[in-house]
């Protein structure tokens, strides 16, 4: 059984991409891609044969959605050499989003650098739930922000005229990325969970989004190679039962939330009962929502006390 951490990679690659050296000679090779005649620096339209070469190379590497990916790579490359480099990285198993340098999230194009967790489309459900529950939110924190996709989407979706937005992550690469993605005025901190946040935020947070790592340690090895090899372990590994980081968040969240403020995080269906207990132990009123279409479970903890 493999752990379903909503890996877009899982749906894109049927199997780990083979080594380029093991590609059957009859399949289009990277050399046929790098000799593309129709993609000069001026970026005229590529020939059908060139597109077919890229699609063939990606398909040979195990990419299920080779046509779609080829279209994205072709539109990202400015020269044949650049295209060849992009296709090669993808064929070697790098996540498409790292190759392109961006991911789509809630209709936004979010910059994602190598070494940063790729925001999953399933997390759009968390954003939707946050906006639905607290459309009046004025103070928002994106804890464990990674690329900052959640914070950026919340800032773009909340109807008010600009929220006070804070984000933090323990990984310097994630913090750099979040600084690129979050709107002007947002403050991004590097450090362990709440530790780097300004003290003045205590008791003022309306939405605390905390998409913490939640893969049980023993199941990290079951994740698709794209995640295991190209996303930092700290972004995936949630400890023995996957809830270690989460329990640290729920223990402290109540001190940072305003009355009526909500903590939201994603979990797997199987972890939901444990996650709800952690929320209740932290003194918050627990609740959970499920989106079958996205295979997403979001747990919400509300500060009901004044």
Ligand X SMILES: C[S@@+](CC[C@H](N)C(=O)[O-])C[C@H]1O[C@@H](n2cnc3c(N)ncnc32)[C@H](O)[C@@H]1O
Residue 8 binds ligand X, judged by CB under 6 A: no
Residue 166 binds ligand X, judged by CB under 6 A: no
Residue 181 binds ligand X, judged by CB under 6 A: no
We find the least distance from the C-beta atom of residue 25 to ligand X, in angstroms, to be 40
Closest to ligand X by CB, 77 vs 215, is 215
The site for ligand X, by CB under 6 A, has a size of: 22
Nearest residue to ligand X, by Cβ distance, number only: 146
Give the range of 89-97, 131-139, 170-178, 269-277 binding ligand X by CB under 6 A: 170-178
Rounded distance between C-alpha atoms, residue 200 and residue 202, angstroms: 5
Asked if 121 contacts 145 with a C-beta cutoff of 8 angstroms, the reply is: no
Among 67, 136, 192, 269, binds ligand X (CB under 6 A): 192
Residue 193 binds ligand X, judged by CB under 6 A: yes
- The CB density around residue 295, as the number of other CB atoms within 10 Å, is 15
> What one-character-per-residue DSSP string does 26-95 give?
TSPPHHHHHT-SS--TT-PPPPHHHHHHHHHHHHHTTBTTHHHHHHHHHHH-SSHHHHHHHHHHHHTT--
Residue 51 binds ligand X, judged by CB under 6 A: no
Among 7, 69, 97, 169, binds ligand X (CB under 6 A): 169
Residue 267 binds ligand X, judged by CB under 6 A: no
Burial of 223 (0-12, 13-18, 19+ CB in 10 A): buried
Closest to ligand X by CB, 28 vs 119, is 119
Among 8, 93, 146, 261, binds ligand X (CB under 6 A): 146
Window 228-247: residues binding ligand X (CB under 6 A): 232, 234-235, 245
Helix (H, G, I), strand (E, B) or coil at 209: strand
* 193-215 burial code (b ≥16 CB/10 A, e <16): bbebbeeebeeebbbbbbbbbbb
Phi, psi of 179 (to 5 degrees): -60, -30
Residues that bind ligand X (CB under 6 A): 117, 119, 123, 144-147, 149-150, 169-171, 174, 192-193, 211-213, 232, 234-235, 245
């Amino acid at each position: 059984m493999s752990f379903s951490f909503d890996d877009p990679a899982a749906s894109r690659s049927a199997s780990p991409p083979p080594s380029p050296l093991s590609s059957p000679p009859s399949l289009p090779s990277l050399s046929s891609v790098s000799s593309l005649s129709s993609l000069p620096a001026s970026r005229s339209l590529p020939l059908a044969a060139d597109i077919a070469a890229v699609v063939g190379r990606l398909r040979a590497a195990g990419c299920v959605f080779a046509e779609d990916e080829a279209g994205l790579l072709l539109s990202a490359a400015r020269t044949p050499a650049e295209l060849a480099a992009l296709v090669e990285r993808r064929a070697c198993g790098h996540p498409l989003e790292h190759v392109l340098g961006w991911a789509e999230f809630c209709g936004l194009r979010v910059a994602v650098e190598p070494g940063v967790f790729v925001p999953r489309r399933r997390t759009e459900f968390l954003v939707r739930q946050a906006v639905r529950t607290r459309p009046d939110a004025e103070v928002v924190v994106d804890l464990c922000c990674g690329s900052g996709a959640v914070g950026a989407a919340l800032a773009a979706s909340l109807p008010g005229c600009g929220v006070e937005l804070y984000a933090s992550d323990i990984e310097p690469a994630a913090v750099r990325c979040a600084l690129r993605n979050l709107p002007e005025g947002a403050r991004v901190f590097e450090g362990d969970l709440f530790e780097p946040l300004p003290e003045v935020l205590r008791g003022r947070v309306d939405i605390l989004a905390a998409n913490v790592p939640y893969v049980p340690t023993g199941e990290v090895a079951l994740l698709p190679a794209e995640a295991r090899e190209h996303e930092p372990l700290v972004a995936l590994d949630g400890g023995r039962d996957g809830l270690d980081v989460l329990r640290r968040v729920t223990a402290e969240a109540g001190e940072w939330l305003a009355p009526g403020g909500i903590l939201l995080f994603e979990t797997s269906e199987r972890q939901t009962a444990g996650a709800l207990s952690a929320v209740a132990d932290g003194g918050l009123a627990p609740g959970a929502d499920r989106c079958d279409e996205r295979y997403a479970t979001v747990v919400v903890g509300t500060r009901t006390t004044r």
